[in-house]
């Protein structure tokens, strides 16, 4: 019986979806699920529901619960990670402190102050999981759902374990494209490549016919453009369609959330998901609503069709050899030629009995790679900060964030990071109370006389030019 350890199984709805997907896969019926979370308050609900499904459908699966991560990982064939360090309490700080400084986030889990701090909390934990796997289940495959995906998988790429990062942005965006062009998504041939939450559909075709002319035509029609104004604008100016929604994409670039005028024009429409704090508000609502309630108690025990999540299909491919193609997140290593080898890239991956195989995409369009690199710069420093515990590196990572740098000065960024680090100490043991060094504002009197600075005679001509210009 294969053993699947789910680390972070207290994410009730998502955990339920993955378990049902695996149970609904004929060749995976004989599976032992080990549900691990710091407490059993939620995992016991998932266990009771899963056992009801097993009994109702006559399956040979088994479900156990533990609070011991090492016990869960011992002998595992597969490991699924879906934890959120600090939960909604930490997320509230990620969102509210930056907002006080003027950094308006919608989602806050991928880039920007929220994404960086989520990485600082999560990377030490995922690296602990990886070290335990190297000891307790060295041949297991880790399927990661923890965000920020690119930063988490960048850190995993520096370990020895087999892993892949999974997201559903490509599948859901294909639904949108399918609706715009009026073609079933199963009939659309595509290549998507880039980084997580900023992948690019470099090819879109139907029976050999390029779909981009039709998609561009649709986006110039108001009734279509209004659905995805942020993605529509980036599509117009960069030439390719991207894998994430208005709410997500608006945070990764400097143009849509930097002031109220931009927000009003592109994002501040609740029905389209770009409004301020949308994801935090939703998470807080769900946490409050189900805090004392077993939301699985009345769920049907019938096995539904498999969801769009890749997890069950990948495990099926690894177990049976039936090839499955998907968009996965791995250490780049040449998959996308014009992105750094060491970054986490998202592109076409094939799974079969021999393992996971990246596809060599080659170069993506240079303007798309350039936009990816603005995010990769932040990711690189955030991973370094999470591993080193250096608060200065946190400041530098967030200073390079496209949205934050469009709103704040360097001094304001340093003050914001200092406040966030102080507020999140309980989840950031690697910093051990260390904060960024203070940089006081130097008062400049109105009648200040500039200090005399010796000038190299060879450069005196440039000084003279300055006087002439003045």
Q: List phi, psi (to 5°) of 114.
A: -65, -45
User: What are the beta bridge partners of residue 35?
Assistant: 6, 65
Active site annotation includes 168 = yes
Using alpha carbons, list the distances in angstroms from residue 380 to 36, 119, 274, 374.
Answer: 30, 11, 27, 11
DSSP string spanning 325-355?
EEEEEEE-TTSBTTS-TTSEEEEEEEEETTE
Distance between alpha carbon 146 and the CA centroid of its chain, in Å? 7
Whether 252 sits among the annotated catalytic residues: the reply is yes
For residue 141, which of 11, 3, 17 has the smallest C-alpha distance?
A: 3
Q: Return the number of other C-beta atoms located less than 10 Å from residue 154's C-beta.
A: 29
Taking the C-alpha atoms of residue 129 and residue 123, their distance in angstroms, rounded to an integer, is: 10
Cβ distance 417 to 395 under 8 Å?
yes
What single DSSP character describes residue 323? -
- Long-range contacts of 388-397, Cβ-Cβ distance < 8 Å, separation of 24 or more: 388/430, 389/430, 389/431, 389/432, 389/434, 390/434, 391/417, 391/418, 391/421, 391/431, 391/434, 391/435, 391/436, 392/436, 392/437, 394/116, 394/120, 394/421, 394/436, 395/436, 397/116
Are residues 16 and 303 in contact, defined by beta-carbon separation less than 8 angstroms? Answer: no
**DSSP label at residue 429:** G
Give the max Cα distance, the chain: 90
- Whether cis (ω within 30° of 0) applies to the bond prior to 308 is no
Which residue in 95, 252, 266, 313 is the catalytic one?
Answer: 252
Q: Which residues pair with 382 in a beta bridge?
A: none
The pairing of beta strand 31-36 with beta strand 62-66 = parallel
Contact 65, 51 (CB under 8 A): no
332: left (phi over 0), alpha (psi -120 to 50) or beta: alpha
Please list the active-site residues. Answer: 168, 252
């Amino acid at each position: 019986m294969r053993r699947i350890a789910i680390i972070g199984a207290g994410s009730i709805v998502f955990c339920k979806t993955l378990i049902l997907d695996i149970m609904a896969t004929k060749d995976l019926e004989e599976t032992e699920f080990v549900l691990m979370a710091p407490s059993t308050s939620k995992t016991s609900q998932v266990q009771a529901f899963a056992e009801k499904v097993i009994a109702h459908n006559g399956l040979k699966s088994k479900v156990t619960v533990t609070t011991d991560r090492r016990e869960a990982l011992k002998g595992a064939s597969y490991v699924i990670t879906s934890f959120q360090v600090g939960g909604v309490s930490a997320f509230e700080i990620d969102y509210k402190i930056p907002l006080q400084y003027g950094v308006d986030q919608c989602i806050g889990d991928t880039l920007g102050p929220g994404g960086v701090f989520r990485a600082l909390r999560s990377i030490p934990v995922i690296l602990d999981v990886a070290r335990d796997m190297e000891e307790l289940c060295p041949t297991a495959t880790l399927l990661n759902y923890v965000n920020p995906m690119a930063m988490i998988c960048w850190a995993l790429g520096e370990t020895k374990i087999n892993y892949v990062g999974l997201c559903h942005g490509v599948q859901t965006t294909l639904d949108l494209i399918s609706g715009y062009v009026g073609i079933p998504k199963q009939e659309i041939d595509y290549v998507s490549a880039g980084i997580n939450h900023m992948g690019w559909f470099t090819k879109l075709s139907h029976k050999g016919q390029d779909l981009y002319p039709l998609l561009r035509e649709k986006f110039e029609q108001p009734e279509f453009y209004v659905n995805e104004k942020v993605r529509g604008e980036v599509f117009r100016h960069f030439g390719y369609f991207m894998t994430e929604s208005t709410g997500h994409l608006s945070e990764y670039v400097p143009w849509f959330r930097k002031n109220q005028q931009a927000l009003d024009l592109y994002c501040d429409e609740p029905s389209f998901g770009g409004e301020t704090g949308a994801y935090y508000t939703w998470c807080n609502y769900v946490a409050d609503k189900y805090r004392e309630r077993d939301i699985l108690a009345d769920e049907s025990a019938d096995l539904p069709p498999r969801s769009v999540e890749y997890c069950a299909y990948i495990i099926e491919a690894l177990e049976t050899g039936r090839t499955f193609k998907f968009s996965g997140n791995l250490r780049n290593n040449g998959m996308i030629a014009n992105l750094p080898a060491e970054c986490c890239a998202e592109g076409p991956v094939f799974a079969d009995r021999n393992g996971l195989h990246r596809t060599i995409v080659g170069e993506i369009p240079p303007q798309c790679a350039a936009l990816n690199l603005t995010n990769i710069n932040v990711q690189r420093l955030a991973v370094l900060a999470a591993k080193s515990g250096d608060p200065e590196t946190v400041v530098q990572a967030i200073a390079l964030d496209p949205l934050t740098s469009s709103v704040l000065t360097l001094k304001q960024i340093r003050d914001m990071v200092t406040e966030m680090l102080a507020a999140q100490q309980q989840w950031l043991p690697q910093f051990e109370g260390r904060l960024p060094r203070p940089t006081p504002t130097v008062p400049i009197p109105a009648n200040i006389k500039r200090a005399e600075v010796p000038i190299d005679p060879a450069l005196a001509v440039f000084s003279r030019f300055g006087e002439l210009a003045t």
